[in-house]
Amino acid sequence: MTDHVAPAADVIAHIPRGPIARFRRALMRSEALSGYTMLSPTLLLLILVMALPIVLLVVFSFWTQNYTDIDKTFTLANHIKFFERSAYPYLLGKSVLISSSVTLITVLLAYPMAYFIAFRVTKHKLIWLILITVPFWTSYLLRVFAWKIILGYNGVINSGLIEIGLIAEPLAFLLYNPFAVVLTLAHAWAAFAILPIYVSLEKIDRSLLEAATDLGDGRLKRFIRITLPLSMPGLIAASMLVFIPTVGDYVTPNLVGGTSGTMIGNVIQSLFGRGNNWPFGAALSIITMITITAMICLFLWGTRSFRRRVA
């Protein structure tokens, strides 16, 4: 037997494997090729309309503006200006603080809701999902504007409370402060937090929960040891989806923030509008983006070490 096998193996070893292998490689390559052909319009669009503008914005931040002319000599003047005037770092810090509060509140409020839909709703899941998704798509501007008319000096709350005789004078502290910004943002971004958390909860293998119960875990212990760690990806995604856009938000601080609720987005906008200093505005945007990225990295590192400790 071995005599017969040996030559056979020898022959196979010497068969020009080229054609099959080459065919297989070509097939693989063509699959990759067709894949990328189908992706190419999207990739091209995003390179031209997203990546290129961002790169240009970075370049722009190293230039300076002389009245109406752009001086294209490379300089760090804009970045130095940011750190020299304490007002700018302060404003960025405040924006990060406001966004962090909003993220924390939104995620904490969203978790029980997502948990409810994932584990408690059995019959009309579709209706619940639609109910929480719909606000996600409706006008952000109008959702923020609603709070302006609710919290205003002559707004819904004040006029309502006066009407029923609870207060005599309108409460001036409702609108135009950082708390109004936090409240409005927490409301406007609520839907963004529920979905990712819901998806991660829905994915949890129910038999794991059963196993934990069978092994004597109580509800709380089971939640902390199984449900919470397994829903971490959703929690992380939700936090990022809320935190990143809110740091640079412009609409909410403009409508309900007043002077004390001003955020970095308002300054960036004014530099491209009335302030008319585009390169400095570009530098401010880039510094904001770097800060956001750094915060996200810190957050991911923190949650990873937390997960490791739980595991």
Name residues contacting other proteins, limited to 222-261 (CB under 8 A). Answer: 240-241, 244-245, 247-251, 255
Determine which residue in the list 66, 154, 168, 216 makes contact with other proteins, applying CB under 8 A. 154
Of 11-19, 83-91, 171-179, 281-289, the window that binds other proteins (rule: CB under 8 A) is 281-289
The pair of three-digit structure tokens given for residue 28, joined into one six-digit string: 């693989």
Contact status, residue 209 vs residue 228, Cβ threshold 8 Å:
no
SS3 301: helix
Helix (H) or strand (E) holding 64: strand 64-66
Determine which residue in the list 65, 106, 262, 288 makes contact with other proteins, applying CB under 8 A. 288
Provide the minimum distance between the beta carbon of 268 and other proteins in the complex, in angstroms, as a whole number. 6
Determine which residue in the list 45, 172, 298, 300 makes contact with other proteins, applying CB under 8 A. 45
Closest to other proteins by CB, 6 vs 173, is 173
Cα 254 to Cα 256: distance, rounded to the nearest angstrom: 6
Determine which residue in the list 81, 104, 135, 277 makes contact with other proteins, applying CB under 8 A. 135
Cα 54 to Cα 41: distance, rounded to the nearest angstrom: 19
The pair of three-digit structure tokens given for residue 106, joined into one six-digit string: 């939104």
Cα 291 to Cα 231: distance, rounded to the nearest angstrom: 26
Query: Residue 164 carries which side chain, given as an amino acid letter?
Result: I
Determine which residue in the list 75, 89, 104, 125 makes contact with other proteins, applying CB under 8 A. 125
150 binds other proteins (CB under 8 A): yes
Cα 307 to Cα 234: distance, rounded to the nearest angstrom: 13
Determine which residue in the list 101, 228, 258, 278 makes contact with other proteins, applying CB under 8 A. 278
- Please name the residues in contact with 118: beta carbons below 8 A apart, sequence gap of 6 or more: 198, 201, 202, 204
72 binds other proteins (CB under 8 A): no
Determine which residue in the list 79, 81, 89, 109 makes contact with other proteins, applying CB under 8 A. 109
Provide the minimum distance between the beta carbon of 90 and other proteins in the complex, in angstroms, as a whole number. 19
Provide the minimum distance between the beta carbon of 16 and other proteins in the complex, in angstroms, as a whole number. 26
Determine which residue in the list 75, 79, 104, 116 makes contact with other proteins, applying CB under 8 A. 116
- Helices within 248-277 (DSSP H only): 251-252, 264-272
Provide the minimum distance between the beta carbon of 115 and other proteins in the complex, in angstroms, as a whole number. 7
Using CB under 8 A, which residues numbered 181 to 220 contact other proteins? 187, 190-191, 195, 198-199, 202-203, 206, 209-210, 213-214, 219
In this structure, what is the dihedral angle of CA atoms 179, 180, 184, 190, given to the nearest 10 degrees? 20
Provide the minimum distance between the beta carbon of 263 and other proteins in the complex, in angstroms, as a whole number. 10
Determine which residue in the list 6, 54, 167, 300 makes contact with other proteins, applying CB under 8 A. 54
Helix (H) or strand (E) holding 66: strand 64-66
276 binds other proteins (CB under 8 A): no
> Phi and psi dihedrals of 90, rounded to 5?
-60, -45
Locate tokens 């230039």: which residue? 63
Closest to other proteins by CB, 260 vs 293, is 293
SS3 283: helix
